[in-house]
Amino acid sequence: MSFINYASKEINCKIVYYGPALSGKTTNLQYIYAKTDPQTKGRIVTLSSDTERTIFFDFLPLAIGPIRGFNVRFHLYTVPGQAYYDSSRKLILKGVDGVVYVADSELRRMEENLESFENLKINLDHQGHNLKTLPHVIQYNKRDLPNVAPVAELSKNLNPFHVQEFEATASKGMGVFETLKAVSKLILLSLKEDSVSPTTP
């Protein structure tokens, strides 16, 4: 749930990038951070283990007008993809406002994509959310590699609610901001349609 900071007149929204290990979640955030105006973003924080990185930062897009007199600041998080970090994934999803599911387009990674997507649904359920109502988009990353699955096959398996989906090569920036803008817009629409103002915790 979005959090209102009355002192700074900001609504803080949480976007979580979810997907299997090494699908490109961190690469998305690193590219966004590198290309975002320094005056609009906070410090990037990286929590690293031997096999996985989890990063987060926040930024205030200047192009977005105020909602109810408040500016909107987005907090972007990645989750660790390895299965044994499931408790961390559950914790990071707490208070989520929108999700970007980052799938690895390689044919050999389809099973891992499916397992991670099912895990996302289970962990959202623990938070009282479901993908039918939660703002989310799907990104099919690594489209520049050989032996990638057709988008139609990825969509059939990973997009049951027919939400917006994007082809991407996050390492080169292709599709990165398009994905972010789409999920941000869904969150903003959700905020505007909510007749009850968010409350402070």
**Model pLDDT for residues 152-182, shown as the tens digit of each residue:** 999 999 999 999 999 999 999 999 999 999 9
- Tokens representing 80 are 């660790």
Q: What is the mean pLDDT of residues 1-22?
A: 85
Q: Is 190 exposed, middle or buried (0-12, 13-18, 19+ CB in 10 A)?
A: middle
Average pLDDT value over all residues in the chain? 86
pLDDT per residue as tens digits for the range 41-100: 888 887 766 655 666 665 655 456 667 788 888 889 988 876 657 777 888 899 999 999
Mention the CATH class of domain 11-193. alpha beta
Domain boundaries, the chain: 11-193
Decide if 158 contacts 166 (C-beta within 8 A): no
Rounded Cα–Cα distance for residues 201 and 199 (Å): 6
